[in-house]
Amino acid sequence: MNYKILIAEDLEDNRFFLQTLLELKGHSVTAAENGKIALGLFHKADFDFVITDIRMPEMDGLSLLCAIKKSSPQTPVIIISAYRELEDVIEALRCGACDYITKPYEEQDVHHSIERAARLRTDETTDKSFMGCQVNASTTYLFDGNPDKINGMARFLCHNLATPNVKAEIQSLQISLIEALSNAVFHGNLEIPSSIKTKDDINSFNTFQALARERNGQAPYNTRKVFIRSMVEPDKISFVIRDEGVGFDYRKLPDPLDPESFLEPSGRGLLMIRSFCDDVTWNETGNEITLVKYRESQT
């Protein structure tokens, strides 16, 4: 599918590279040399996605992100960051960015980020006027663990959640759920190690997907389910996700706040989850994760 994409990047070579790369894929791309120009363009046209560098003159990427989220919270914004800008990335994710690309980026990094952002596009015809009414609820789901259904399951879980800032909050929760469900399915039930996906190997993504398809048709992997419990309480929203894999030692997970882990395969998902959720815990076996998002007080 082709999208209308706005790019904000002050370096001409990088701006040209991104624009050319995306246009070759059939996307309609508008490019700006700083955040101020990009924001003006954003208000004049409808864009499906925005890709912005963090460090720019006139208006930086964080300021642009906040301005876009204020006027259009449902628009996915992807941040471009340098290797050592981890704190800025975390701040951007907490302000509503849906993903990040690290420099120096490669073609597959950009395309995979667009694919992840596309997962967040939902049916805007749904009536949102009732979404602040729910106060208490607890529901349990049994997910068959089909990798092709992960995005749909995350959308379904978020569909009727009551949140203070509906679109922005649901988007961040949906991203967290996609990452957590992906971990449960791929690394838990299918037992595929993160090490197969490496930053430097251009074929690693295809290898990972091929192994996932193979194991999804093999016993015992294809008989395993994912148990999900969602809980809405007056002060918080929680999700408990448990797979039927062998588990792992969560204490050995790389620290997502360590710049060295920033580029690790397992670092991205964990960084996204911890940035979007207020509390993240595992059970002792390591096959169950609990995500908690505290709700702003209602007045």
SS3 282: strand
Examine the domain organization and report whether 78 and 149 are in the same domain: no
Say how far apart CA 7 and CA 165 lie, in whole Å: 26
Angle at 223 between CA 221 and CA 224, to 5 degrees: 75
3-state percent breakdown (helix, strand, coil) of the chain, nearest 5:
40, 20, 40
Examine the domain organization and report whether 157 and 30 are in the same domain: no
Selection from 67, 96, 68, 97 nearest residue 80 by Cα: 97
Exposure on the CB side of residue 182, measured as CA atoms within 13 A: 20
Q: Which long-range contacts (CB under 8 A, 24 or more apart) does 138-144 make?
A: 138/229, 138/230, 138/231, 138/232, 139/229, 139/230, 140/227, 140/228, 140/229, 141/227, 141/228, 141/229, 141/230, 142/225, 142/226, 142/227, 142/228, 143/181, 143/225, 143/226, 143/227, 143/228, 144/225, 144/226
Say how far apart CA 115 and CA 111 lie, in whole Å: 6
- CATH no. for residue 201? 3.30.565.10
Say how far apart CA 117 and CA 288 lie, in whole Å: 26
Establish if 204 belongs to a structural domain: yes
Establish if 124 belongs to a structural domain: no
CB distance 3 to 48 below 8 Å: yes
SS (H, E, C) 254-276: CCCCCCCHHHCHHHHHHHHHHHH
Domain boundary, last residue among 91, 118, 145: 118
What pLDDT shows up at residue 90? 86
Tokens of 132: 């602040």
Examine the domain organization and report whether 169 and 233 are in the same domain: yes
Selection from 111, 131, 108 nearest residue 295 by Cα: 131
Say how far apart CA 101 and CA 113 lie, in whole Å: 7
Domain boundary, last residue among 118, 150, 181: 118
* Domain with 81 in it: 4-118
Examine the domain organization and report whether 166 and 201 are in the same domain: yes
Number of domains in the chain: 2
Examine the domain organization and report whether 111 and 151 are in the same domain: no
Examine the domain organization and report whether 143 and 249 are in the same domain: yes
Say how far apart CA 178 and CA 154 lie, in whole Å: 6
- pTM (two decimals): 0.78
Say how far apart CA 83 and CA 91 lie, in whole Å: 15
pLDDT values of the chain reduced to their tens digit, one per residue, 299 residues? 889 999 999 999 999 999 999 999 999 999 999 999 999 999 999 999 999 999 998 899 999 999 999 999 889 999 998 756 778 888 898 888 999 988 877 788 898 899 888 887 654 444 444 445 555 778 999 999 999 999 999 988 887 664 444 455 778 888 999 999 999 999 999 999 877 876 555 677 788 889 999 999 999 999 999 999 999 888 888 999 999 999 988 888 766 666 666 556 556 788 889 888 999 999 999 999 999 988 764 43
Domain boundary, last residue among 118, 151, 178: 118
Examine the domain organization and report whether 73 and 153 are in the same domain: no
- CATH no. for residue 8? 3.40.50.2300
Examine the domain organization and report whether 289 and 143 are in the same domain: yes
The crossing angle, in degrees rounded to 10, of helices 150-158 and 166-182 is 140
What pLDDT shows up at residue 266? 59
